[in-house]
Structure 1
Amino acid sequence: GGGGGGGGVLSRFVLNQSSAQRYVWLPQAGGWSLYWSLPRDQCDQYAHCGAYGVCDVGAASMCGCPAGFAPASPRNWELRDSSAGCARRTRLNCTGDGFLPLRGVKLPDTTNATVDAAIAVDQCRARCLANCSCVAYAASDVRGGGSGCIMWSSPLVDIRKFSYGGEDLFMRLAASDLPTNGDDSSRKNTVLAVVLSLSGVVLLALAAFFVWDKLFRNKVRFQSPQRFTSFDSSIPLNQVQDRKMEDETRHSNELNVTLFDFNTIAFSTDNFANLAKLGEGGFGPVYKGELDGGQTVAVKRLSKFSTQGLDEFKNEVMLIARLQHVNLVRLLGCCIHGEERMLVYEYMENKSLDNFIFDKARSAQLNWSKRFNIILGIARGLLYLHQDSRFKIIHRDLKAGNILLDGDMNPKISDFGVARIFGDDTDSHTRKVVGTYGYMSPEYAMDGVFSVKSDVFSFGVLVLELVSGRKNRGMYSSGEQTSLLSHRMQAWRLWREGNALALLDEAVAGGGGGGYSRSEVLRCVQVGLLCVQERPEDRPHMAAVFMMLGNLSAVVPQPRHPGFCSDRGGGGGSTDGEWSSTCTVNDVTVTIVEGR
């Protein structure tokens, strides 16, 4: 470690084989406070997703493969081992190849890359295309629209997707794997020439298509209400002829779930058009659709290579079909067609919570009154899952992206793919840890131990995010002193100093949207810190959480030290020590290119 004096900030660095931390001295507290730490999350681990894999902490599966690639070892990916990376679907043949743009990423390891800062990006593309061993290129200087050239000729490792910022990487793909809107100009020219030479044939084909389309639409409109979109005559899920699902649903109670015809779903989403796409998560893409009766729906389509597969699909159907609550998203039905698996939900006009609280432009739309109402709504929904529903259910992936908002900004908990029905046991173990880092409780992330207190921890993170308007994880600009480790630490420090109001989002604290209740903000910070305490037994149950939030006269206990990679041997968790011994990684890399 090292420090500096002279009236400036006193700091020290702690380095070991797996991590690095910087601490600053706080004279008022009389102790060291963590300023930043690496790795911030699993995506900071070198080559966490293997060759050609893309790491995204915001995705449930974390590791994914770009278009034109598939998991090199699908079996291992199902077990959350993505170290083998991704493999090409089609081998490159040098002629006819094109490039797939990956936007907003950290560039791969440049150890074996070549850099030429003197040429333009277009020249870089041409040079890479002419070099059969070149697998990707990018601009070496992103200023002014981009210039210079970086070329890779070996498998790409250590790619990371950022929610904000990042750079553009252009990966080489075989012509057959290129999207229809790919950037290969020669390919476009070839298509254009064919179209012009066969214009007469195309016109005839279009005319025939419109005639067929009109007949098809009439047929779908006739069949859909009668067979599939009538919610008065639902089809039991265990009557669906799918052997894989049949084996495990045979002994379960009969579920009345509306089964939609594939053609009905395809027609409602304009054949899964990109314009109808609302977003994409670990399960797969989500589309906006309109049923024949005019009802707007959201369709979740299971990705073929998603790590959330058939079991999670069935799990979500079986669970949410039994649940009815104003703060849970409503499942309208499902579709099973060959290998296609889709879930049909009520449509939420304002999409997910993270679209608002982490967006500086849109966060002002959430004044304190709306934020407090969202906090109470999530608490009500979680209390129903834990205590008031027919089954005790642990969500296991509660995060801002899984909180949907209706037209009136009322919250609804969604995505029950990894939820579990819980018995009378206080906790359980799993070897397959699923969820989103930053929202996971320490005992679940490190040891696979989960309980209702795991959801309570995630709820506490959500509360602090709603109050502060800042993510609990991810990459931030150098001006912000927030990361996976320091976010809760900052809330804890401000609370102990009696300055918790400083945590409040500037969009609210600035006086916009009608002001805020000081007592409500302080109570939310205090309850949020109670929920993220180190030891599960110290965290309150959701019944107590809802009572403390909804009753301003209720006595709220003082929180103890929050839980995150900190000293597990501390017992009471009352110190500021950090878990350096349990946060292990293989390596840490930061790619820096000269001339940038």
Structure 2
Amino acid sequence: MGTPSSSSSSSSSIWVLPILFLLHILQPTHGRNPPLLSPQPLLPPIPSSPSSSSSMASPPLVMQMVIVYEHHHLDKELVMAVALSSVAAALIILSAVLAYIFWQRNQRDTDSDSKNGQGSGPNMSKFSSLKMMSNRKGSPTMVGYLLLESATSNFSEDNILGEGGSGFVYKACFDGGVLAAVKKLGGCGQDGTREYESEIDLLGKVQHPNIISLLGYCVHEDTRFLVYEFMQNGSLETQLHGPSHGAALTWHIRMKIALDIARGLEYLHENCNPPVIHRDLKSSNILLDSEFNAKISDFGLAVTGGNQNKGNTKLSGTLGYVAPEYLLDGKLTEKSDVYAFGVVLLELLIGRKPVEKLASSQCQTIVTWAMPQLTDRSKLPNIVDPVIRNTMDLKHLYQVAAVAVLCVQPEPSYRPLITDVLHSLIPLIPI
């Protein structure tokens, strides 16, 4: 009977140990946190027989190991939290330092630009950035003179694209291979200054696929500069009357150019508020990109609605394109642009210049020369530009000639609106 009693006592001791351990953890500490590892015994001694003491020594050791493990686990979490906080702080400090360096560099660029006589405004070291800013609403960007000088190879003669009445136009190559056209205007005077400012203001507000984009401008001493988007095929005047004599311009390309011009004028006359009258529409102010899409350029003489009275506007324009009522009476309306469009349409159709000298030292306009033959269907095919002669449907030829005749009518009330011209030309262009 002694053996079973000993076994029962040992078994009950094993079950008592976990219960006493829980009681030890849950008992109140009276505001004190006992250490996780204590040199004192974790549990009070339990009287037992010598035979059971060896079996009771193991549980307290295992419990100590568990507590030690938890202690190490808490230490690792603390170390990781401190490490992550240190990394975040270092990144914040690094970002602040880089932002300060960037601000200092921009400040030096702005100061340098001011010293070079460029006035206020951002100095763009990359033309791509200038182009991005110009695409936003508002005025075009001021460009540093040194940047223009570098992009044009000090305005080399090899980079001259053309010459207008107010100066040369240069090809400019900016960082990244971005091309642009830089118009250099020297000795402008009061009228030139007014036209310069008017073009910047107007093109800063106008955005249309068939209107040239003004990317930037610059004032250096007495010289002014305008920076336009680059048009690979130059002007319509050069294509028609230059060395190639229109060889690259097929019938369909010419009609597409006429359609593009009409769309640009319709935007100026119908969609701008107040309406804009270009006042100097001509083939040299029609620029062509790599795919012969046409854009109207040179808005220095443009006026807006309400400013076209004779007393307010100085008589300006180009001989051969100026409408009779404007030339004789100073009367300027949207129909004046329609007349000039009719002259450009005749250039595309016939291939002749708007004004040509005769043997007797007199001049003859294309309108005077062509008008009697435009209305005669038997003579019309013979006056068409030889480059495109016999390459179009005769019905289309007669229709284009009829539109041109209406546009160059001496009486402005007989001329169509540019919207009507546009609707007449659309069916002639293949999709």
TM-score bracket, normalised by the shorter chain, equals 0.5 to 0.7
The answer (yes or no) to whether the contact 1:457–1:533 under 8 Å persists in 2 is yes
Q: Aligned to 2:254, which of 359, 368, 371?
A: 371
The answer (yes or no) to whether the contact 2:127–2:174 under 8 Å persists in 1 is no
Q: 2:167 maps to which residue?
A: 284
The answer (yes or no) to whether the contact 1:282–1:307 under 8 Å persists in 2 is no
Q: 1:88 maps to which residue?
A: none
Structure 2 CA distance for aligned equivalents of residues 454 and 233 of structure 1:
34
Partner SS, residue 226 of structure 2: strand
The answer (yes or no) to whether the contact 1:283–1:307 under 8 Å persists in 2 is no
Partner SS, residue 247 of structure 2: helix
* Corresponding position: 1:225 with 2:125: yes
For 1:62-91, what per-residue CA distance to the aligned partner results, in whole angstroms no more than 9, with x for missing partners?
xxxxxxxxxxxxxxxxxxxxxxxxxxxxxx
* Corresponding position: 1:468 with 2:368: no
In the TM superposition, 1:375-390 aligns within 5 A as 375-390=258-273
Partner SS, residue 176 of structure 2: coil
Shift of 1:283: 2.2
TM-score of the aligned structures, taking structure 1 as reference length: 0.48
Q: Aligned to 2:383, which of 494, 503, 507?
A: 503
In the TM superposition, 1:252-267 aligns within 5 A as 255-267=138-150
Q: 1:268 maps to which residue?
A: 151
The 3 A distance-change label for structure 1 pair 338 and 538 is: same
* Corresponding position: 1:422 with 2:305: yes
Structure 2 CA distance for aligned equivalents of residues 226 and 551 of structure 1:
43
* Corresponding position: 1:432 with 2:314: yes
Unaligned stretches of 5+ in structure 1?
1-218, 237-253, 553-596
* Corresponding position: 1:530 with 2:406: yes
Following TM superposition, the consecutive aligned residue runs of length 4 or more in structure 1 with deviations greater than 6 angstroms are none
- Give the number of the structure whose alpha-carbon radius of gyration is greater: 2
Shift of 1:551: 3.8
The 3 A distance-change label for structure 1 pair 537 and 258 is: same
Aligned residues between the structures:
308
* Corresponding position: 1:493 with 2:372: yes
Measured on the aligned residues, the alpha-carbon RMSD in Å equals: 3.0
For 1:297-335, what per-residue CA distance to the aligned partner results, in whole angstroms no more than 9, with x for missing partners?
000111215785110100100011111111111111111
Structure 1 CA distance for aligned equivalents of residues 243 and 145 of structure 2:
39
Shift of 1:468: 0.1
Higher strand share: 1
The answer (yes or no) to whether the contact 1:283–1:308 under 8 Å persists in 2 is no
Q: 1:550 maps to which residue?
A: 426
Q: 1:136 maps to which residue?
A: none
Q: 2:70 maps to which residue?
A: none
The answer (yes or no) to whether the contact 2:126–2:174 under 8 Å persists in 1 is no
The one-letter amino acid of 1:506's match is P
The 3 A distance-change label for structure 1 pair 458 and 501 is: same
Shift of 1:256: 3.0
Structure 2 CA distance for aligned equivalents of residues 517 and 366 of structure 1:
16
The 3 A distance-change label for structure 1 pair 382 and 461 is: same
In the TM superposition, 1:504-519 aligns within 5 A as 504-509=384-389, 511=390, 515-519=391-395
The 3 A distance-change label for structure 1 pair 231 and 471 is: closer
Q: Aligned to 1:447, which of 300, 310, 329?
A: 329
Shift of 1:473: 0.3
The 3 A distance-change label for structure 1 pair 299 and 235 is: same
The one-letter amino acid of 1:504's match is V
The answer (yes or no) to whether the contact 1:234–1:259 under 8 Å persists in 2 is no
Shift of 1:290: 0.9
* Corresponding position: 1:358 with 2:241: yes
Q: 2:14 maps to which residue?
A: none
In the TM superposition, 1:576-587 aligns within 5 A as none
The answer (yes or no) to whether the contact 1:396–1:418 under 8 Å persists in 2 is yes
Shift of 1:229: 4.4
The 3 A distance-change label for structure 1 pair 451 and 317 is: same
Q: 1:323 maps to which residue?
A: 206
Shift of 1:497: 2.9
Shift of 1:471: 1.1
In the TM superposition, 1:130-149 aligns within 5 A as none
TM-score of the aligned structures, taking structure 2 as reference length: 0.66
RCO comparison, higher one (Cα < 8 Å, 6+): 1
Q: 1:52 maps to which residue?
A: none
The 3 A distance-change label for structure 1 pair 310 and 232 is: same
Structure 2 CA distance for aligned equivalents of residues 259 and 434 of structure 1:
28
Structure 2 CA distance for aligned equivalents of residues 354 and 305 of structure 1:
25
The 3 A distance-change label for structure 1 pair 507 and 356 is: same
Shift of 1:494: 1.6
Structure 2 CA distance for aligned equivalents of residues 235 and 368 of structure 1:
33
Q: 2:339 maps to which residue?
A: 457
Q: Percent identity, aligned pairs only?
A: 37
The answer (yes or no) to whether the contact 2:127–2:175 under 8 Å persists in 1 is no
